[in-house]
Amino acid sequence: MDAGAITATGLRSVAAPRNQPLSIRATRAPDTERADEASMVEPVSPTGRLMDSFYIVVTIGLGTPVNVPACRAGVEAQLARHPRFCSIQVTDGSEDGNPHWVPATVNLDDHIVIPGLDPAAVAADPDRAVEDYVASLSTLPMDRSRPLWEFHVLDFPTSEAASTVALRVHHSLGDGMALLTLLIACTRSAADPARLPAMPPPPAREGPIYARARPPASAGFRALAAWLWSYAVLAWHTVADVVAFVATVLFVSDPHTLFKRTVMSEGNNKVHRKRFVHTTLSLDDVKLVKNAMKCTVNDVLVGVTSAALSQYYFRESGDADTRKLICLRSVLLVNLRPPASLQKVAEMIESGKSKEVKWGNKLGFIILPFHIAMHDDPLEYVRTAKKTVDRKKSSLEVLFTHAIGEMVLKFCGLKVAATIFGRMIAHTTISFSNMVGPGEQVEFCGHPVAFLAPSVYGPPEALTVHYQSYSNTIKVILAVDEARFACSKLLDDFAGSLRRIRDAAKLLQ
Which sequence positions are flagged as catalytic?
171
What DSSP assignment string belongs to 84-99? GGGEEEE--SSTTPPP
CA-nearest of 171, 186, 5 to 80 is 186
Compute the distance between CA of residue 419 and CA of residue 416 in angstroms, rounded to an integer: 5
C-alpha R_g of the chain: 23
Cα–Cα separations (whole angstroms), residue 303 to 255, 280, 429, 497: 20, 17, 16, 9
φ, ψ dihedrals at 476, nearest 5°: -105, 120
User: How long a stretch of residues is the chain?
Assistant: 509
Beta strand pairing status for 274-282 and 163-170? unpaired
What DSSP assignment string belongs to 103-158? E----HHHHEEEEE--HHHHHH-HHHHHHHHHHHHTT---BTTS-SEEEEEE-S--
Kind and range of the H or E element at 488? helix 487-506
Query: Is there a contact between 408 and 420 (Cβ–Cβ < 8 Å)?
Result: yes
Q: What is the DSSP letter of 78?
A: T
For the chain, helix (H) and strand (E) counts, in that order, are 15, 16
Cα–Cα separations (whole angstroms), residue 278 to 58, 69, 213, 221, 305: 12, 29, 42, 53, 14
Beta strand pairing status for 163-170 and 55-62? antiparallel
Burial 481-509 (b: 16+ CB within 10 A, else e): ebeebebeebbebbbebbebbbebbeeee
Q: Please, what's the largest Cα pairwise distance for the chain?
A: 77
